[in-house]
Amino acid sequence: MGDEPRKTNCLKSAFVLFLGVVMMGPIVGAGQEPAKITQLRVGANRRYLVDQNNAPFLLQGDAAWSLIVAMSDAEVERYLRDRRAKGFNTVIVELIEHRFAKHPPFNEAGEAPFTTPGDFSTPNEKYFAHADWVIRKAGEYGMVVMLVPIYLGYIGTDEGWIEEILKLEPEKCLAYGRYLGNRYKDFDNLIWVMGGDRNPETALERVDSIALGIRESDKRHLFTAHCHPENSAVDRYGSGGWLSFNSTYTYEIVHEKLLADYNRNPAWPFILIETSYEGEHNASEVQIRRQAYWSVLCGGFGHVFGNNPIWHFNGPTLFPTDLTWQQALDLPGSVGMMHWGRLFRSRPWFDLVPDQKHEVVTGGLGEFRGLDYLAAGRTPDGGTVIAYMPSQRTITVDMSKISGARARAWWFDPRTGKALAGGDYPTSGQRELTPPAEGDWVLVLDDASLDRQAPGSGS
């Protein structure tokens, strides 16, 4: 939620898409997260997170930055109920708000986070009790809260707490961290997110102090960070000893930045924590979808989707919109994320290896540094290949990369969530395949002997 790389034109509502989706049934499939998360940790291969049952966790996130400060209890429940129905399992939220609310830093009940303004050593129990309630309520809906304890704010703006934190002694920052760690150490559904639209620079010692203060008593929760655009967490916050997984934040060539984070040595699990939001910067429907599909097919374990006005819940915004957050809930971006989650959970997404050398899809790739780039991933056993193409084109596939005697093809429509049978083919030679209509499409190729159900419909 920064200044320069944030939100413009609103996309129009798409109830037609939504009505075709609500009848599809529960989200099931390989690697599905449980209804209630009680523990997340980094998986053994350092490519994704796993839950308390050691099941891979596909992070399907929504930007809800102002959820704690901007909403009544009833509104919080309405929002969480809708997001969960669409398959979201994670929200990113600020614990304390500096700008994007009706009367920041006060919440809807008129409570400020600190009894002495700007003094982090004076927490207001009533304010934090409400924050507790929101986080617990999210947990009841099976949602993990990526909690930002102190949002720094985009450079050159008053959006965050950078001026206040620079005035604090590191000891007070450590004390604030200890307070938060003691308060939230027993919560199940929590990931800590340090920073916020900014590289730490002169604030690094203080940010580290908050994180280390949290960790003194909170040993169970993971940490990541939210940087300035075109930066990744491990580069800016990786020296403090508290970072658990990496995050990618980019508005440029999204898949290129994702692959750079995938190719790090040693490996860091990562998510696409922010890129273009729906309703901002004239982002198209296909742009919102392609960055989500790229996030997994380029090696990440999830994506935080964002929408204007949902992220600020009708508060002050950098990009004017006529929509309310309630009206925005069923826009194509949210519906597309529902289909995204159902598709990947219906296949072993966690085993996909990016097809960086184009050994699987050998033709029709588009320009690597362009917006029409085809991203593909293949499981090491050859049982599944998934390829996302931002536009209709004929592609060439080396069918020998799929295991078994025959491959079964599916065309998955990311707009509607419907899968169309594409035929069975011998697993030999090069084969040209073309989507059935215009627009962006997902090609799923399975070893036919596995007899998997249609993509998006479960295992």
- Chain centre distance of CA 324: 22
Please give the helix or strand (H or E) that residue 144 lies within, else none.
strand 144-148
Nearest Cα neighbor of 230 from 202, 257, 256, 255 is: 257
Which of 4-13, 240-249, 414-423 bottoms out in mean pLDDT, i.e. has the lowest? 4-13
pLDDT band for position 160 (50/70/90)? confident
Strand boundaries in 23-87, DSSP class E: 41-42, 49-50, 56-57, 59-63
> Quick one: average pLDDT of 72-91?
98
Q: Give the span between the Cα atoms of 113 and 56, in whole angstroms.
A: 36
pLDDT at 2 over 60: no
- Give the model's pLDDT for residue 157: 85
Q: What domains are there in the chain, each with its CATH number?
A: 15-350 (3.20.20.80), 353-450 (2.60.40)
**pLDDT band with cut points at 50, 70 and 90 for residue 292:** very high
Helix (H) or strand (E) holding 133: helix 125-140
- Strands (E) in 200-293, as ranges, are 222-226, 231-232, 246-249, 270-274
Task: Report how far residue 94's alpha carbon sits from residue 133's, in angstroms, rounded to the nearest whole number.
Answer: 14
Q: What is the value of pTM for the model shown?
A: 0.92
CA gap 199, 179 in Å, rounded: 24
pLDDT band at 431, cuts 50/70/90? very high
Closest CA to 85 of 38, 39, 142: 142
Q: How far is Cα 403 from Cα 417, in angstroms, rounded to an integer?
A: 26
Q: Is the pLDDT of residue 23 over 60?
A: no
Sorting pLDDT into bands at 50, 70 and 90, what band is 156?
Answer: confident
Please provide the average confidence, as pLDDT, over all residues in the chain: 92
Backbone φ and ψ for 343, nearest 5 degrees, come out as -60, -55
Q: Place 97 in a pLDDT band, splitting at 50, 70 and 90.
A: very high
Residue 396 contacts residue 432 (beta carbons within 8 Å):
yes
What is the distance of C-alpha 114 from the center of its chain? 30
Q: What is the pLDDT of residue 223?
A: 99
Residue 316 confidence class, pLDDT cut points 50, 70, 90: confident
Q: Which residues contact 432 (CB under 8 A, 6 or more apart)?
A: 363, 394, 395, 396, 397
In this predicted structure, the answer to whether residue 284 has a pLDDT above a threshold of 50 is yes
Is residue 24 left, alpha or beta, with left meaning phi > 0 and alpha meaning psi from -120 to 50?
A: alpha
Beta strands at 41-42 and 353-354: parallel, antiparallel or unpaired: unpaired
Strands 231-232 and 395-398 turn out to be: unpaired
- Range with the poorest average pLDDT among 32-41, 92-101, 141-150, 338-347: 32-41
- Residue 135: partners with Cβ closer than 8 Å, 6 or more residues away: 145, 147, 184, 187, 189, 190
CA–CA gap between residue 126 and residue 149 (Å, rounded): 17
The C-alpha atoms of residue 194 and residue 180 are separated, in whole angstroms, by: 13
Q: How far apart are CA 285 and CA 215, in angstroms?
A: 40
pLDDT value at 8 more than 80: no
pLDDT over threshold 90, residue 34: no
Q: Mean pLDDT across the stretch 63-85? A: 98
Coil, helix or strand for 103?
coil
Q: Are residues 317 and 309 in contact, defined by beta-carbon separation less than 8 angstroms?
A: yes
**Token pair for 166:** 């620079």
Provide the pLDDT confidence category of residue 318 given band limits of 50, 70 and 90: confident
Spatial distance between the Cα atoms of 48 and 348, rounded to a whole number of angstroms: 12
Report the pLDDT averaged over residues 48-56: 97
Supply 200's token pair.
């730490």
Q: How confident is the model at residue 202 (pLDDT cuts 50, 70, 90)?
A: very high
Q: How far apart are CA 230 and CA 225, in angstroms?
A: 13
Calpha distance 435→443 (Å, rounded): 8
Average pLDDT over residues 322-345: 98
**What pLDDT is stored for residue 35 in this prediction?**
61
Per-residue tokens: 368: 């690597």
For residue 302, give the H/E element and its range: strand 302-305
Position 207 scores a pLDDT of: 96
Look at residues 69, 92, 19 and name the one whose alpha carbon lies nearest to residue 307. Answer: 92
Nearest alpha carbon to residue 4 among 318, 419, 359: 318
